A and B are shown apart, each in its own frame.
Chain A
Amino acid sequence: MDYFIELFFGGLTRGSIYALIALGYTMVYGIIGLINFAHGEIYMIGAFTSFIVATVLSIYGFPLLAIVVIAALAAAVWSSAYGVTIEKIAYRPLRHAPRLSPLISAIGMSIFLQNYVLLAQTSDFLPFPALIPEFAFMEPVAHIVGSSDMVILVTTALVMLALTLLIKFTRIGKAMRATAQDRTMAMLVGINVDRVISATFVIGSALAAIGGMLIASHIGQINFYIGFIAGIKAFTAAVLGGIGSIPGAVLGSLVLGLTESFATGYVSSDYEDVFAFSLLVLILIFKPSGLLGKAETKKV
């Protein structure tokens, strides 16, 4: 039973990280209808930035709490900056191009960013500083649920809550929902669509950066390639939930995280990634609208 609970929490933790990344995919897709292939790289850059900042601060002897806060902020700021820049360079000029053009551009961006980090930093796995201490009060259950699992779950929950409030109640959130529903209409009623799109990239990227920092400190190491697999898995989660749907992305992520956790725990860990990819292929074939998405007839 303990093993089951351990796997369950492991799955939730995984799922929450996927959710932080999947939200970026789903929000961008909802607004500009593009699979932002470079989103995995944003996540990786977030992780790298937090790694660099945290390591520098710890070398200079800052206290742990300051390190955590500054590293998280830096990750969010720079990831957002990358997100916005990518949108401006690689996607905005292609907004009226045939559908595959921005996708190819996005794939190119993803490869470019991977190799940019590889060349500017290193191809080695780097040890990520332990930012999350072992809490004393977690002691009794530590063999089942680690402190970092707990921190990840709580952080994700808080972030989701904040996002929901933002989208429900703020001006920019309302503009985002309007743009997602009908871009032309939104433009007609005076919404600055470019700003909304940029805001979407900022939010999506910041979430991914937080996810990147959390997972890196959880796993304890980092590498320029982590964005690729994580990106595809988060995309799988977004599709599973119904791409374009925010609750869908969270649900899909949790389902994917749990599935993976149980599959690797009870079946075999060799094929961990095969499960996710197969799931992706199967959903797209059998239910491309996902769990919470609605099937639409394209207007002709």
Chain B
Amino acid sequence: MSEAILNVTNLTMNFGGIRALDSVNIDIYPGEIVALIGPNGAGKTTFFNCLTGIYTPSSGEIRLRNPETGKETRLNGMKPNRITEKGMARTFQNIRLFANMSVLENVMIGRHCRTHSLIFGAIFRNPATRKEEREIIDTSYKILKKVKLHKQVNEQAKNLSYGAQRRLEIARALATEPFLLLLDEPAAGMNPKETEALVSLIRLICSEGHSILLIEHDMKLVMSLSDRIFVMDYGKKIAQGTPEEVRSNPAVIKAYLGEDVDA
């Protein structure tokens, strides 16, 4: 196997007295779909927030390695926007779209960190700026097509259905050209049909060269989609392995079902 694109060592996060993450170690390799599962409050979202610079972890190290250039960066202390520039993007569990902006504009925002024009370009609309703007619109439209929202480009994001909003979040994250995509409960609130479409979407995205780390409670989805699974409980990583290994791991069963239930 080639070198890890994400390497997390001993990541710990304290909130006052609560230890939401406790020495978590995780590696992700290029081309993988990895799932992060665990009961409510296990610290999964906190883990994402630490990776993407939204929380400052109490200790531990996060390293991101660009699979194309081979350049490795230490993410600790970096601002979220710099981390996204480095090639890791995310979606949010409690959808955080720009509700009053259009679907297209939401994705166009994702292009922000790959484009450059500023005041001068805005005022004078020189050829370079116009070209860039064209590029932003075209790329965003293509991505929207991929997530099947291209019919609703001018709709306000808040008017979309729940499932469509989740897909728009994915599209927006894709627009930043990440090589690693973090999805926080992408199937939450979706009906079975939507979930099925989501599975093929995630496969498609993966086949286009994005590695994926996803948090999900839908076990059917997790088991059918992931190459590997990490399990967390009370801030600790309690198990890892292929879906089969995890499914039969007693610690996992205990975490999910409590002490005295036999699965």
Physical contact A–B (CB less than 8 Å): yes
Q: How far is the CB of B90 from chain A (nearest CB, A)?
A: 10
The count of chain A contact residues (Cβ–Cβ below 8 Å) is 3
Residue of B nearest to A297 (CB): B55
CB-CB < 8 A to B162: which residues of A?
none
The count of chain B contact residues (Cβ–Cβ below 8 Å) is 7
Complex: A294 Cα to B16 Cα, angstroms: 10
CB-CB < 8 A to A297: which residues of B?
15, 55
Residue of A nearest to B15 (CB): A297
Decide yes or no whether B54 CB sits under 8 A from chain A: yes
Decide yes or no whether A136 CB sits under 8 A from chain B: no
Q: How far is the CB of A80 from chain B (nearest CB, A)?
A: 35
Interface SS, B side: loop
Decide yes or no whether B45 CB sits under 8 A from chain A: yes
CB-CB < 8 A to B92: which residues of A?
300
Chain A 261-298 interface residues, beta-carbon cutoff 8 Å to B:
294, 297
Q: How far is the CB of A279 from chain B (nearest CB, A)?
A: 27
CB-CB < 8 A to A294: which residues of B?
16
Q: 1/0 contact trace for A185-204 toward B, CB 8 Å?
A: 00000000000000000000
Decide yes or no whether B49 CB sits under 8 A from chain A: yes
Complex: A83 Cα to B147 Cα, angstroms: 51
Complex: A294 Cα to B45 Cα, angstroms: 23
Complex: A297 Cα to B15 Cα, angstroms: 8
Residue of A nearest to B93 (CB): A300
Asked whether, in the complex, the Cβ of A300 is within 8 Å of the Cβ of B45, the reply is yes
Q: How far is the CB of A118 from chain B (nearest CB, A)?
A: 38
CB-CB < 8 A to A300: which residues of B?
45, 49, 54-55, 92
Q: 1/0 contact trace for B136-161 toward A, CB 8 Å?
A: 00000000000000000000000000
Complex: A297 Cα to B55 Cα, angstroms: 7
Chain B 24-49 interface residues, beta-carbon cutoff 8 Å to A:
45, 49
CB-CB < 8 A to B54: which residues of A?
300
Q: How far is the CB of B47 from chain A (nearest CB, A)?
A: 12
CB-CB < 8 A to B49: which residues of A?
300
Given A300-B45, A300-B54, A300-B55, 5 more contacts at CB 8 Å? A294-B16, A297-B15, A297-B55, A300-B49, A300-B92
Residue numbers of B with Cβ under 8 A of A are 15-16, 45, 49, 54-55, 92
A-B contacts, 8 of them at CB < 8 A, read A294-B16, A297-B15, A297-B55, A300-B45, A300-B49, A300-B54, A300-B55, A300-B92
